[in-house]
Structure 1
Amino acid sequence: MAHSYILVSKKQRHDVLYQRLASSLQGQWHLITDKTQLSLEKLTAINPKYIFIPHWSDKIADEITERFACIMFHMTDLPYGRGGSPLQNLIVRGHEDTQLSAFRCNEQLDAGPIYGKLLLSLAGTATEIFNRADLLVGQLIFDIIQHDIEPIPQVGQVTTFTRRLAEQSNITNLDKLSDVYDYIRMLDADGYPNAFLNSGEFILTFTDAVHDEEQVSAQVIFKRNAKQKNETGILQ
């Protein structure tokens, strides 16, 4: 009897990953994109061997993680870098590459046993890095299913990252061109607050950065600063 598998993600880019997995690996595949679908009742009806979660921002109920093998993917060499905004936290710390870790979800944040890790370059924009990571996610899923891998406990010193806030995308106080470039590229992806400057009347946001020895060039968008408006909507 063929096993059932579930891919869980709100990101549209993972539709391609789902199609690739469903066409290349035997079994009944299901895609969940909404948290209302991630219920114990629905999962029990499917009875998956594995639930793969390449991206999910909502807490998964303990009753689900205790009953099913929920496998998440984190862009650090766990236990280093548990927590939020791993890509950005790695780049601001000067990392040029990382490990993409596949681990079983449990009651502690990013603390479950490891199924496998693959080397991931942090070059390029956030979008480019995520696209490379998706290919590695597919490879890890293939290995886990084909080789029936048993996860092993995390080993090493725990380091925890804090989720970065939108205001930390402000590049006003940066004094190195390399830092300006890193901030722009690490936030250059759908769903992320782009690097910005506040000129008072305008907010300038930056994407598509290119860095050479003497300058950083980028695409810039000017928007009216909503905080400069009074109650009538007129800029002060």
Structure 2
Amino acid sequence: MRGIELRDAHVRYGPLEALHGITVAAPAAALTVLLGRNGSGRTTALRALAGTLPLSSGAVLHDGRDITRSPAHERAARGLCFVPDRRAVFSSLTVAQNLELSRADGGFGHALTAYPELRPLLARRAGTLSGGEQRMLALSRALLARASVILVDEPTQGMSPPVAARSHALLAGLAGPDTCVVVAEQRLPPAWRERASRTAVLVHELRRGAVVRSGEAAEFSAARE
């Protein structure tokens, strides 16, 4: 399978087990949502995929290849882009410098087209931005990286509703034949339910470190209605 997968993954924080043998597949050409409240294990699962948190047992597969023992920097070199929920920008660098570091090649005009709010802030240090502005800058990494795997935790924290809706649409649009997008969220955004016919949106709902339900976004919408 092209994409990334957790297989029978266990993660421990000291004596406490945070993931209880979960299996989560995120195929290419799809947007995969790890859905759950705080403490559900969704952030832990994302960090395990990124390599910033080791598994106690189980495996991480990328395009069918076992990368469980590969550190985070090696996964990044293979095309994995991870945008954590905190400390996702270089606070001492300017917005322009952050964008320069994020681009795979060429300029960073694409990010400014997606987030024109950043244009007047290019000379500002990233640490002085508001929470929503920092999230826009952090998401620009995903837009510029041209990665094969994009992992994003809580992408729209601090954003206004219009900017959040735009960000959800942008993330769905990044999924392609050679790219999978995995996002950890507390709630399923309306934009992803509406896009389900054009971009496959798959949902894995987590509770207390276990996957309790998996399916397409439309199935979750119908159940909630």
Q: Fold conserved (TM > 0.5)?
A: no
Greater Rg, structure 1 or structure 2?
1
Q: Which has the higher contact order (CA 8 A, sep 6+)?
A: 2
TM-score where L is the length of structure 2 = 0.29
TM-score where L is the length of structure 1 = 0.28
